[in-house]
Structure 1
Amino acid sequence: MLGVKKQLLDDFRHYFPGNNDDIRLFFAPGRVNLIGEHTDYNGGYVLPAALSKGTYMVCRVRHDGEFHLKSANFPDQTVHFSINQLDYKTSDDWGNYPKGIISELKKAGTELTGADIYYYGEIPNGAGLSSSASIGMVTAFGFCQVCQFSMSLIDTALLCQRMENHYIGVNSGIMDQFAVGFGKKDHAMFLNCGTHEFDLVPLRLGNYKLVITNTNKRRGLADSKYNERIAECQRGLAAIQELHPEYNTLTDISLDDIEKVKNKLEPVVEKRMRHVATENERVVAAVKALESDHLEAFGKLMIASHESLRNDYEVTGQHLDMLFDIQQDCKGCIGTRMTGAGFGGCTVSIVKGEQIESFKEQVTMMYTGKFGLEPSFYISEIGDGVKEFERVTGK
């Protein structure tokens, strides 16, 4: 970390020379969702964990109302805007995420006077590991600290969700921001997305490791069928509410409830509802398996989750399905599934430590042979949530 921190501060001073007083360095992790996919915006249960890799933000306050943004990931682009020019602009690309956060903070009453900001993201964009929530949370948390604006971490997470929903146009749930904000090293988060209540569950993997495999087929949430799935779930909920007006979300329902309104449902909506109902049950069972150290039972639930996402929710696609089929047959792999919104992105697998190299070799050979794409692997460490790393004053 010391080497990364020095490099970031050196890079910041290169792009933004001048006053070295009060340079601040913040970090927000990415997240991997272990199980509970597409249940978050339906008010259900999820089980994510914060990663040790994420997004760094170095910033220094300005007093002219101007914001100047640079990113190590997009070195040829500089994004700049004023506090009175916060509209979404396609040409600003990645810069719309921090700009959207600044817009929400302004609405909340934060006294923003401008800033020089430098970002470095370790998470591949479009991989399903919450690069968007990571940059959103590091920006919101950082500016609350810099501006001495009192906002709870829950309200910070909700602000970041609002930004994605209304500014970016992705109707995401609250899971990503909560995992990025409240994550704890070596723990998963059992979160009720309807009530925002959560428990931290120890993640005791023994001689197993979490291996994240990136299909390297990029997908963008706003351009995918993500919002279409949300609309299908809303139609299903409306049908259920004719019989059960007391139900507030799809995750209030059971398979029996679905059966009662089956004749009123489009076949595709029935499938979406079946996934949500069964996935919610799988998350509860997965927490019990982890608490009882039944790792193989947890792995079987991961496999069932992917099958449901493939067959009932139809968000996997051929690249993720190919990885899933290869990985579940690899020696030492006791569980695997897609993670994130789908339509590309990553799988997460539980693999015995001494067999990780053979796992990677087998997956690469078969996947690359099929698609001509080489997958990327991340041996994932589970880390802490958003935080400030350093405050630099003087030279």
Structure 2
Amino acid sequence: MIGELIKKFQEIFQTTENVRCFFAPGRVNLIGEHTDYNGGHVFPCALSIGTYAVVHKRNDQKVRMYSANFEDKGVIEYKLDELVFEEEHDWANYPKGVISTFVKNGYELRNGFDVLFYGNIPNGAGLSSSASIELATAVLVNQLEELDIDMVEMVKMSQQAENEFIGVSCGIMDQFAIGMGKEDKAILLNCQTLDYTYSPLQLENAVLVIANTNKRRGLADSKYNERRSECDQALADLKSNYELESLGDLTKAQFEQLKHLIKNPTNQKRAKHAVYENERTKEAVVKLNNGDLQGFGLLMNESHRSLRDDYGVTGKELDALVEAAWVQEGVIGSRMTGAGFGGCTISIVKENKVDSFISEVSAAYTKATGLQANFYVVEVGEGARELALETV
């Protein structure tokens, strides 16, 4: 595939000069949902699908970008002294935002570049294609300009780009998982301190299956901001009588003692999810490390129920997929993953039951919603990096 992308690059930019190739994966979160901005823990892994970037350094200040996923948009061009958000630049605002954030943080960029992006992450699936293109850009700018920035710093700048340049108040999980991912490992990340540990993903003849609801996620952004604000209000109520930094500081027992301080009943449910999900995530990792995959799966199921009943972010499509998964033979655990209101579910399924799982869940889902789901058996891959071209 890289060979084809290089040919396409040469065609679009009319050059035969040498190029370099970079890759940043997508990510999926196994457990720990809507905990990242609440100062809790998440447990994501990087995937083997993601965003490819074929790039050639220029001798001037011009940047030209082309996406093989959005060919109708053509080549998008600007200069390094014109790093502003422009509606008509569409998808290119994500990489442009990263370049702008590098400059804002004091890194001098001497040269522009021509770049072709191609992503094989299913569009709108909630596997973080935006953070993937951000990290692909960060890694390529770091290497082209020989800036020697460490990965955690690039992760932070990519999040900053999405928060400030794009205007989406995401937590750091997506960028961190994509930048720091390791093959066959998941990352337990404390989103408040950025302390992290790797856990081997030993799935015992089972695989990860992602199912995409194919529902347009129109509500996700507005509801995401609404949930953040509900949690912020709950935290403010707690802080008026109790000293804490974030909801992630509380144990379940502490929350039960203090929840009466949260005046609004809805906000109380939102906070309950944040606290319980954080504890559940830490417990799930212990189970995985002890080889208790069944116990891990049960906690995934609990996570979905909490997201449905307390956090209110599932919706009928995600519920239909998960509930159909729960009754299938060979399913160890299943839950929604991502922001919610559409997007994807993640299931751990015994390898010899994958075909029946896909056909049964697919039929049940279509019957319940009238929509067709897509299924992807995914592998856990490495984080953002430059690819060696000798193999092309």
Give me the TM-score of the superposition, normalised by structure 2: 0.95
The answer (yes or no) to whether the contact 1:170–1:222 under 8 Å persists in 2 is no
Matches of 1:220 and 1:32, distance apart in 2? 20
| 1:248 corresponds to which of 241, 245, 250 | 245
Residue 159 of structure 1 corresponds to: 157
1:77 aligns with 2:61: no
Q: Which runs of 4+ in 1 moved over 6 A?
A: none
| 2:92 corresponds to which of 62, 85, 95 | 95
| 2:319 corresponds to which of 321, 329, 335 | 321
Percent of paired sites with the same residue: 47
The answer (yes or no) to whether the contact 2:55–2:113 under 8 Å persists in 1 is yes
Residue 274 of structure 2 corresponds to: 276
Residue 7 of structure 2 corresponds to: 10
| 1:145 corresponds to which of 143, 146, 151 | 143
1:59 aligns with 2:50: no
Matches of 1:263 and 1:144, distance apart in 2? 47
| 2:379 corresponds to which of 365, 378, 381 | 381
The answer (yes or no) to whether the contact 1:30–1:123 under 8 Å persists in 2 is yes
| 1:334 corresponds to which of 318, 327, 332 | 332
Structure 1 residues not aligned, in runs of 5+: none
Greater Cα offset, 263-272 or 208-217? 263-272
Matches of 2:387 and 2:59, distance apart in 1? 24
| 1:45 corresponds to which of 26, 41, 44 | 41
Q: After superposition, what is the alpha-carbon deviation per residue over 1:108-139, rounded to whole angstroms, capped at 9, x for unaligned?
A: 22314211110010112321111111100010
Give me the TM-score of the superposition, normalised by structure 1: 0.95
Matches of 1:389 and 1:129, distance apart in 2? 21
The answer (yes or no) to whether the contact 1:125–1:218 under 8 Å persists in 2 is no
The answer (yes or no) to whether the contact 1:127–1:218 under 8 Å persists in 2 is no
Matches of 2:3 and 2:275, distance apart in 1? 48
1:135-284 mapped onto 2 (5 Å cutoff): 135-219=133-217, 223-245=221-243, 247-255=244-252, 256-257=254-255, 259-284=257-282
Q: After superposition, what is the alpha-carbon deviation per residue over 1:266-300, rounded to whole angstroms, capped at 9, x for unaligned?
A: 11110110001100111111011101111111110
Q: Once the 2 structures are TM-superposed, how far is the Cα of residue 63 of structure 1 from its aligned partner?
A: 2.6
Letter paired with 1:266: N
Matches of 2:261 and 2:151, distance apart in 1? 44
Matches of 1:190 and 1:344, distance apart in 2? 25
Letter paired with 1:363: V
Matches of 1:220 and 1:89, distance apart in 2? 22
Letter paired with 2:2: K
Residue 342 of structure 2 corresponds to: 344
Matches of 2:314 and 2:262, distance apart in 1? 27
Distance 1:178 1:327, change over 3 A: same
Q: After superposition, what is the alpha-carbon deviation per residue over 1:26-62, rounded to whole angstroms, capped at 9, x for unaligned?
A: 0011111000000011111111011011100111112
